[in-house]
Amino acid sequence: MRRHLVVKSGSQSQKGPCKILGGGWTFRQTGCLSTIFNELWSLDVNRMTPGIDYTISFQGRASFVSQGIHTVLDHASQPLFSNVNESKLRNITTFSSFVTLLDNYERSTGVTEQVTTEELTEMDLFLDAVLETKVMKVCVTTSSVEQKVYICEILQHYNLICISLVRSMCVSVLKLIITSLDSSGFEHVFVGETKSGTEIIGFHNWVQFYLQEKNQHLDYKGYKAREHDLPDQDDHVLNLQFSWHGVVKPVGSAFIGTSPEFEMAVFLMNMEGSTTVVVNIDQCQMELVVIRHGRSLGTAYPKLLSSNSRHVRQHAH
């Protein structure tokens, strides 16, 4: 059976098949989102390959911890990342330009960001690199007018709309996309912050995790999963527990190995409203959470539900 969705054009509404490309459509069905995200997945040529470009060591299952606790039982004596292909981090433009942004932020909320001319140039170089990828170009042509209207009203040129969207997600403190005067959605999601010295908020990016772990600012405490759903080396989403500068995050989650452009595209395409949607990407079923504050991104992250196509096998039974 072919899936259908509502196609909106002006005041007209009609039904049409779920397709990868078709600007101006509203993708409300999980099946359609999964189809689009898997197309982005197949186009993500900059994604790193597990076991080749990086190796992770899950070790033990982390225990329950309440928010605000500073001391927890460590179920992982070794780092999560045994190795990462740093040559790719340096030589793939979207990765290298992404890494240059990571030290541009104040870790603590409540501290006003001082953005320099050099940092603004770094932002522009990153955005230019991301917008040149096939992943983001499909994001641009697939996103509906209705999705874009929430951020920048109805515009005629997809590229301009997408640039505006991505810039609002990124570090432009002129377009505040979270409630406080010192934070942005990009910083929250991709870099991480601490609040009142007792809570880690955001921090959902694997590259930042690896670099902070390598520099001994972060301590991986173990994975989080249901009793009979152990993580696998090939999983590209992981739920985990860690401490950062002595502050504990009881449960965090992140894509693993994916490119910055893939993560940004997936979050952008789900910004039609504050939503939690279950999608299937590659062999993983995940909950994709995107929360907006007004027209700006508040937070966005994946939460692994099952991997290695367990959800498919369970449904078959």
Which residues carry out catalysis? 188, 204, 249
**Which tokens go with 162?**
């997408």
* 3-state SS, one letter per residue, for 205-250: CHHHHHHHHHCCCEEEEEECCCCCCCCCCCCCEEEEEEEECCEEEE
* 3-state SS, one letter per residue, for the chain: CCCEEEEEECCEEEEEECCCCCCCECCCCHHHHHHHHHHHHHHCCCCCCECCCEEECCCCECCCCCCCCCCCCCCCCCCCEEEECHHHHHHCHHHHHHHHHCCCCCCECCCCCCCCHHHHHHHHHHHHHHHCCHHHHHHHHHCCHHHHHHHHCCCCCHHHHHHHHHHHHCCCCCCCCCCCCCCCHHHHHHHCEEECCCEEECCCCHHHHHHHHHCCCEEEEEECCCCCCCCCCCCCEEEEEEEECCEEEEEEEEECCCCHHHHHHHHHCCCCCCEEEEEEECCEEEEEEEEEECCEEEEEEEEEEECCCHHHHHHHC
Place of tokens 């401490």: 243
Residue pair 172/113 in contact by the 8 Å Cβ criterion = no
